[in-house]
Structure 1
């Protein structure tokens, strides 16, 4: 019985190796090619281009690229070229403060590649000293023109905050979402995480709360925004469609 089992395993391994070899040969004989217009552009890869950007233009680029994602345009990245181009400097047009959620692939959502975006991720897209310091670095030091707080539907952190979950360091993190819950205390309807309308209200409130906290706790970013050097905006990622709803 053991001999038969070993023979079966060897047969499976041989079949996998043969299939792999055949696939590699097919790729060499018929390499996959793409039209140049299918490859994402390199708009954010040079200091010269970044210096000419305005916050509104960057927002337009993000909207255009998100539409490409929604329209199921595959994100084709000229990765090797981008690695070489970006190796000595980075000039992203925007910094995205996103939730930790694995279902929100930020670079893909905005049809972007290496060097295009700064991305900060934390459960519930909340802000703290380290996050705000990172946003300041992205804008004041590295020239990003837009700060976007990106929330999303069906957020586990939002649900947990509504449900008063307490667990280790998660407790302190969820406490930062509680002000967003308090801000919608006049919501008419069932105030539970199982009510999609209430969950949506808290999600939007949390995005706005984070934006307010950034302005309140970062004189640097607040001043840059007042001078028109950057814009701080919100967005909500809709999982069923891939669309980002922009919130100003």
Structure 2
């Protein structure tokens, strides 16, 4: 009750007050009425929530239970369960639930043991084991990961759509439910990632989060400025040419420090090692500066900060395009895989302000 907040004590307080101000019988009746209204309010305020999730191995209907599930929720729960079509997995998410009416538990148990099997629906749950023993032995937390069969069955265009769908979940704040510990065990023996992503080391652009990816689903290579030269290309060749990834995504981002520094150094006519004391930055900066049109830098020092940021973002986009061109020009196997339609090589820009990815 304490976890539910102070309002959980409201029916009790009203009952006591009614008894004091009237009599015992009237007070109890008033308390029962308030309790009933309180239950109705709780159910309408936080109803059962359904989310259809598209995992790599199939669709999962996740049914999120509110903190209190009473007999008033039976009709909604029954409609949700019996509306699931054959081949879909039902995942009951009870992690935020404090109380489930016995009638609802019986409904879930009957569906799990009888109806789900008859209709070709798989029943899984999270959070029921701790409180309700009847679900303990068969509770299975849904763990999805890319297997050899999943990887080989997907076409490059389908993988790209999976990345886009994952990004939409990221934008909505509705990531897939995953048991990462179980995924770790499931992918320990082998990995079959469906995509390879070349991104920047910027801490604000975490690829796995941006595309809502689990363990074993993508190779992620990160370097300042998301540039590619021999060693990086070798990693990408392995990812797509040997390990079977179907999409190679080059992901740049706005407000990139490496790009902005490359622009500033270009204007100042200095090397990165001279300006920073970092001896290994010169080659990296030189690559990024290949995407800068020097003719556009006239009167750069007089530009406003907004104009400078906008220009740097334009350079970041050109850098992505140039990186893709460089990879294809310098990797025979990746270029061949693209020409044979065995992989897609695409570019995108992640906006660190809005969290949105724009595919180029």
Q: TM-score, normalised by structure 1?
A: 0.79
| Aligned position for 2:252 | 151
| Aligned position for 1:57 | 158
Q: Secondary structure at the match of 1:216?
A: helix
Structure 1 residues 206 and 185 mapped into 2: Cα distance closer, same or farther (>3 Å)? farther
| Aligned position for 2:289 | 178
In structure 2, list runs of 5 or more residues that go unmatched.
Answer: 1-93, 98-123, 127-140, 266-270, 274-278
Q: Deviations over 1:8-65 (max 9, x none)?
A: xxxxxxxxxxxxxxxxxxxxxxx9469869x9872x5210111011111011000000
Q: Deviations over 1:109-139 (max 9, x none)?
A: 0111110110000000000111100000000
Structure 1 residues 67 and 173 mapped into 2: Cα distance closer, same or farther (>3 Å)? same
Q: Deviations over 1:179-221 (max 9, x none)?
A: 1113x74589958794122112101100001001100110100
Indicate if the aligned counterparts of 1:40 and 1:111 stay in contact, CA closer than 8 A.
no
With a CA cutoff of 8 Å and minimum separation of 6, indicate the structure with the bigger relative contact order.
1
Q: 1:200 aligns with which of 310, 313, 318?
A: 313
1:188 and 1:71 map into 2 onto residues whose CA distance is: 41
Indicate if the aligned counterparts of 2:143 and 2:180 stay in contact, CA closer than 8 A.
no
1:169 and 1:233 map into 2 onto residues whose CA distance is: 28
1:80 and 1:129 map into 2 onto residues whose CA distance is: 35
Cα deviation for residue 242 of structure 1 reads 1.1
Q: 2:325 aligns with which of 197, 202, 212?
A: 212
Structure 1 residues 93 and 188 mapped into 2: Cα distance closer, same or farther (>3 Å)? farther
Structure 1 residues 237 and 216 mapped into 2: Cα distance closer, same or farther (>3 Å)? same
Structure 1 residues 76 and 190 mapped into 2: Cα distance closer, same or farther (>3 Å)? farther
Say yes or no: does 1:85 pair with 2:186: yes
Indicate if the aligned counterparts of 2:166 and 2:175 stay in contact, CA closer than 8 A.
no
2:183 and 2:259 map into 1 onto residues whose CA distance is: 36
1:154 and 1:36 map into 2 onto residues whose CA distance is: 42
Q: Secondary structure at the match of 2:221?
A: strand
Indicate if the aligned counterparts of 1:187 and 1:198 stay in contact, CA closer than 8 A.
no
1:40 and 1:161 map into 2 onto residues whose CA distance is: 46
Q: 2:168 aligns with which of 50, 64, 67?
A: 67
1:50 and 1:81 map into 2 onto residues whose CA distance is: 19
Q: TM-score, normalised by structure 2?
A: 0.55
Say yes or no: does 1:225 pair with 2:331: no
1:40 and 1:178 map into 2 onto residues whose CA distance is: 46
Q: Please identify the structure whose Cα radius of gyration is greater.
A: 2
| Aligned position for 1:241 | 354
Structure 1 residues 119 and 189 mapped into 2: Cα distance closer, same or farther (>3 Å)? farther
Indicate if the aligned counterparts of 2:237 and 2:334 stay in contact, CA closer than 8 A.
yes
Q: Secondary structure at the match of 2:251?
A: strand
| Aligned position for 2:236 | 135
Cα deviation for residue 105 of structure 1 reads 1.1
| Aligned position for 1:120 | 221
| Aligned position for 1:22 | none
Cα deviation for residue 241 of structure 1 reads 1.6
Cα deviation for residue 85 of structure 1 reads 1.1
